[in-house]
Amino acid sequence: MTFGSRLLDAAATRGRLCVGIDPHAALLEEWGLEDSVVGLAEFSRRCVEAFADTAALVKPQVAFYERYGSAGFRVLEATLAALREAGCLTVADAKRGDIGSTMAGYADAWLGEESPLRADAVTVSPYLGVGALAPVLDLAEETGRGVFVLAATSNPEGRDLQNHRGTDGRTIAQQVVDECGRRNAIHAGPGNVGVVVGATLLDAPDLADLNGPVLMPGVGAQGGSASDIARIAAGVEHLAFPNISRAVLGAGPRIEDLRAATITAAREFPGHGIHPGKD
């Protein structure tokens, strides 16, 4: 079963919401926690309890664990394991991207069956070439895990690069989406390769032929809305998974308030009980 199909199954009962776990220093302070590994672990524990059975997908931001070194990675390993044990799908927001054996190492770290850091999916950067991502894309196919490839991000620094047009007239962002769609074409239902497309974009790539999930950050505090999701993902809206972090995490630190915020937000993005071509 592909990652895309598993994600749609989760959305059928929980809605299409992806919730981020972003334990940055300011938020730890807001929650009354110390900026330490102890505070990190408590923040993560509360998020697991609040999101594991309410969100379709949970996305720990790796950078906020990495800044504590090996101790932070141990907390991330425990967080991913707890979510996995609870039956919740995860995406490690690591944004890795390299070539050759180095990319293969990243693939093993985040998707490998024996890795303590393994997640159900990982975010990657294609700007050394989508072809350079072959080790992680191939491992995703072997394992039924997922990859979200950055295609069209909402940060202004990325627009000139991602909107640059090649000799065939397609933007770089569209070329990324199209190559991911080519990878997914072997599946009748949604495949293992998704893309990241910002929810606040006015000129987004065409997603009609992707045949995979779309992770859409920027909803909530950054200004994106349910109508933006519907506009950008028109025709494949069931594959669009909005990511909300600040608007949900701001409801903390009480677990019951985090749960309530997640459930309320998820109602704006209902899933579908039946999806075609499931494999």
Could you read off the pLDDT of 3-19 as tens digits, one per residue? 999 999 999 999 999 99
Could you read off the pLDDT of 26-64 as tens digits, one per residue? 999 999 999 999 999 999 999 999 999 999 999 999 999
Residue 137 lies in a domain: yes
C-alpha torsion 264→56→215→131, nearest 10: 170
Residue 278's pLDDT band (boundaries 50, 70, 90)?
low
Residue 274 lies in a domain: no
Residue 156 lies in a domain: yes
Could you read off the pLDDT of 196-228 as tens digits, one per residue? 999 999 999 999 999 999 999 988 767 789 999
Q: Which residue has the higher pLDDT, 26 or 272?
A: 26
Could you read off the pLDDT of 96-117 as tens digits, one per residue? 999 999 999 999 999 999 999 9
Could you read off the pLDDT of 224-243 as tens digits, one per residue? 899 999 999 999 999 999 99
User: What's the domain count of the chain?
Assistant: 1
Look at residue 273 and tell me whether its pLDDT is greater than 80.
Answer: no
Domain CATH for 45: 3.20.20.70
Tokens 């950054």 -> residue: 222
Please state the three-class secondary structure of the chain as a single string.
CCHHHHHHHHHHHHCCCEEEECCCHHHHHHCCCCCCHHHHHHHHHHHHHHHCCCCCEEEEECHHHHCCCHHHHHHHHHHHHHHHHCCCEEEEEEEECCCHHHHHHHHHHHHCCCCCCCCCEEEECCCCCHHHHHHHHHHHHHHCCEEEEEEECCCHHHHHHHCCECCCCCEHHHHHHHHHHHHHCCCCCCCCEEEEECCCCCCCCCCCCCCCCEEEECECCCCECHHHHHHHCCCCHHHEEEEECHHHHCCCCCHHHHHHHHHHHHCCCCCCCCCCCCC
Give φ, ψ of 89 to 5 degrees.
Answer: -75, 140
Q: What pLDDT shows up at residue 222?
A: 73
Tokens 């989508």 -> residue: 130
Look at residue 276 and tell me whether its pLDDT is greater than 50.
Answer: no
Could you read off the pLDDT of 80-97 as tens digits, one per residue? 999 999 999 999 999 999
Q: How far is CA 66 from CA 12, 22, 44, 60, 209, in A?
A: 33, 12, 14, 11, 36
Told to judge if 278 belongs to the known catalytic residues of this protein, a careful annotator would answer: no
Give φ, ψ of 131 to 5 degrees.
Answer: -60, -30
Using CA atoms, how far apart are residues 250 and 140, in angstroms rounded to an integer? 33
Phi-psi sector, 244: left (phi>0), alpha (psi -120 to 50), beta: beta
Could you read off the pLDDT of 174-199 as tens digits, one per residue? 999 999 999 999 999 999 999 999 99
Look at residue 274 and tell me whether its pLDDT is greater than 70.
Answer: no
Could you read off the pLDDT of 126-157 as tens digits, one per residue? 999 999 999 999 999 999 999 999 999 988 88
End-to-end CA distance of the chain: 5
Query: Which residues are CB-neighbours of 169 under 8 A, at least 6 positions away?
Result: none
Instruction: Report pTM.
Output: 0.95
Residue 62 lies in a domain: yes
Domain range for 82 is 3-266
Residue 277 lies in a domain: no
Residue 230 lies in a domain: yes
Residue 257 lies in a domain: yes
Residue 59 lies in a domain: yes
Q: Which of 24, 74, 95, 182 is catalytic?
A: 95
